[in-house]
């Protein structure tokens, strides 16, 4: 689904022509066909969007919370009306199987808007502590830089809380998967937000993203992407001392305890790693299993991987689509080759495309066994359907290896609940999932260490976009 306004930007309540003439093709990664031409914004485009957001800030921040909630509810209603458009757009731009695009990608945008509205309705925006009045108000103009792998999840997790907090914003979606971002701008326009409150500029990170990050009129940057890019954003933002919230890379551990049902735990771990073609920053990509269960775990993992249906995203039977691009394909191929070179056991999958697929950035679902925690495939974020299975002797050893990483976004523990809780407390990660729970969109999401800072989802996201003001001497209510 190609948005009607893909060739223009949304600035100050109007669809406007880009100031520059540079264009890039938007590729369907399943076919390698170019499906649209995307204008790339310039620093001047970023500047005019920021100035529009600045001019709108005082009025939007002073708008009663109830009115801001009503505006986001209008966005949600239009989103729901265009739900299938979003699913089709994400299937086209990132190769997501259509059932996954509907049930996960488009659903993520919907549920995060719903959760954030509920959190705003329940939040104490002002309260007294003695004779001091505590007030939460929007931080100001926000630059929202979002990735290609979960387009609506990340746009909703930034735009909804920023709007509800009273912020104005400039959204820069990924230029690799820009269709759904343009669609989202269309629904914000249809929802009747005041001019300048929401702005969209397409473009690259090194140009538009860099300008937004250093702009003196931007008060906060909320960035989701690689740790490498996140450090560049933080460095650019530092001279103006703006707030920077980052959700970055991950190399999440999945500890299978001896008390776990091995079949359920291993199969669930494979499915979790392979979801979204492995292109999730919180994917459980390192599976730790008791040494005596290692070979049995490999056979369960093999059978689970061989049941994956890789193919045409438009086919409802497909469960895994392609990687996003040739760049990502080449990276994953290189890391699979590195795993083989360093002596890990290739259980299934491996180099090359799956049989029968000679076009598109499809890869073979890959399992490695007998991995050590020092191998490259256990250290680097692969961002593809590649699982490393690592044997352990004691739970202490498993915890030590799980924590032996520069990342700390997520972790997983499977086993008897009291044991799982105890192990979960010891893991250095922002979100620890016990026994594959349902997705909790009210739980804080964010990382330790080089996985970032700040927290997203519902009320946690709203707080990230707020300043806290104390009126000392306010007196009793």
Catalytic residue numbers?
247, 281
- Please compute, for residue 357, the number of CA atoms within 13 A of its CA located in the half-sphere on the CB side: 20
Q: How many angstroms separate the Cα of 311 from the Cα of each of 45, 353, 356?
A: 39, 11, 9
Give dist(CA 276, CA 381) in Å, integer: 15
Residues with Cβ within 8 Å of 330's Cβ and at least 6 positions away in sequence, in order, are: none
Helix, strand, coil content of the chain in percent (nearest 5): 45, 20, 35
For the chain, the first-to-last Cα distance in angstroms comes to 54
> Per the structure block, which two tokens stand in for 401?
């290896």
Which residue in 381, 445, 437, 413 sits closest to 287, CA to CA? 413
CB 180 within 8 A of CB 155: yes
Distance between CA atoms of residues 157 and 207, nearest Å: 23
The phi, psi pair for 311, rounded to 5°, reads 170, -155
Helix segments in 275-413, DSSP class H: 294-306, 326-341, 376-379, 395-403
Which tokens hold the place of 443? 């739980």
Beta bridge partners of 256: 414
Q: Tell me how far CA of residue 324 lies from CA of 71, 80, 327, 365, in angstroms.
A: 33, 26, 8, 15
Give the C-alpha distances (Å, rounded to integers) separating 269 from 5, 305, 357, 457. Answer: 40, 11, 26, 24
DSSP 170-217: EEE--SSS-HHHHHHHHHHHHTTPPTTSEEE----IIIIIHHHHH-TT
Cα–Cα distance, 111 to 107 (Å, whole number): 6
Nearest 10 degrees: Cα torsion 278, 282, 283, 289: 160
Angle at 92 between CA 88 and CA 97, to 5 degrees: 75
Any residues with CB less than 8 A from the CB of 101 and at least 6 apart, and which? 87, 88, 90, 91, 313
CA–CA dist 310, 215 (Å, integer): 43
In the chain, how long is the greatest CA-to-CA distance? Answer: 74
With beta carbons less than 8 A apart as the criterion, state whether 404 and 373 touch.
yes
Smallest Cα–Cα separation from 402: which of 255, 268, 291, 294?
255
Rounded Cα–Cα distance for residues 57 and 433 (Å): 38
């Amino acid at each position: 689904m190609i948005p009607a306004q893909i060739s223009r930007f949304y600035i100050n309540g109007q669809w406007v022509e880009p100031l520059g003439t540079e264009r890039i093709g938007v590729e369907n990664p399943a076919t390698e066909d170019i499906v649209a031409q995307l204008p790339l914004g310039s620093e001047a485009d970023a500047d005019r969007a920021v100035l529009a957001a600045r001019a709108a800030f005082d009025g939007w921040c002073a708008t009663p919370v109830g009115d801001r909630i009503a505006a986001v509810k209008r966005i949600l209603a239009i989103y729901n009306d265009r739900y299938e458009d979003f699913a089709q757009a994400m299937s086209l731009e990132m190769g997501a199987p259509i059932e996954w695009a509907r049930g996960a990608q488009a659903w993520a945008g919907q549920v995060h808007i719903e959760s954030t509205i509920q959190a705003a309705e329940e939040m104490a925006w002002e309260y007294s502590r003695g004779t001091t009045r505590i007030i939460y108000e929007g931080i100001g103009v926000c630059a929202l830089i979002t990735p290609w792998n979960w387009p609506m999840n990340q746009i909703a997790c930034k735009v909804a809380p920023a709007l509800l907090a009273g912020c104005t914003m400039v959204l820069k979606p990924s230029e690799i998967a820009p269709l759904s971002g343009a669609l989202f701008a269309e629904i914000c326009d249809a929802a009747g937000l005041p001019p300048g409150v929401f702005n969209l500029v397409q473009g690259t990170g090194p140009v538009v993203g860099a300008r937004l990050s250093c702009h003196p009129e931007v008060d906060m940057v909320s960035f989701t992407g690689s740790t490498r890019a996140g450090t560049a954003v933080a460095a650019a933002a530092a001279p103006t001392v703006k707030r920077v919230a980052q959700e970055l890379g991950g190399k999440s551990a999945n500890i299978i305890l001896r008390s776990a049902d091995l079949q359920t735990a291993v199969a669930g771990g494979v499915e979790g790693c392979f979801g979204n073609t492995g292109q999730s920053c919180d994917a459980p990509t390192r599976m730790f299993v008791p040494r005596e269960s290692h070979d049995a775990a490999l056979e369960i993992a093999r059978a689970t991987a061989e049941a994956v249906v890789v193919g045409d995203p438009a086919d409802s039977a497909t469960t895994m689509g392609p990687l996003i691009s040739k760049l990502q394909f080449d990276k994953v191929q290189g890391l699979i080759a590195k795993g083989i070179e360093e002596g890990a056991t290739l259980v299934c999958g491996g180099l090359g495309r799956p049989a029968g697929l000679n076009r598109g950035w499809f890869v073979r679902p890959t399992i490695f066994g007998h991995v050590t925690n020092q191998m490259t495939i256990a250290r680097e974020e692969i961002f593809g359907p590649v699982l490393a299975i690592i044997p352990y002797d004691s739970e202490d050893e498993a915890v030590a290896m799980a924590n032996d990483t520069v990342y700390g976004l997520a972790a997983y523990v499977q086993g008897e609940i009291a044991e799982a809780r105890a192990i979960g407390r010891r893991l250095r990660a922002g979100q620890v999932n016990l026994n594959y729970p349902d997705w909790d969109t009210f739980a804080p999401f964010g990382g330790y260490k080089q996985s970032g800072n700040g927290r997203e989802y519902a009320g946690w996201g709203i707080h990230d976009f707020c300043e806290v003001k104390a009126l000392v001497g306010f007196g009793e209510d």
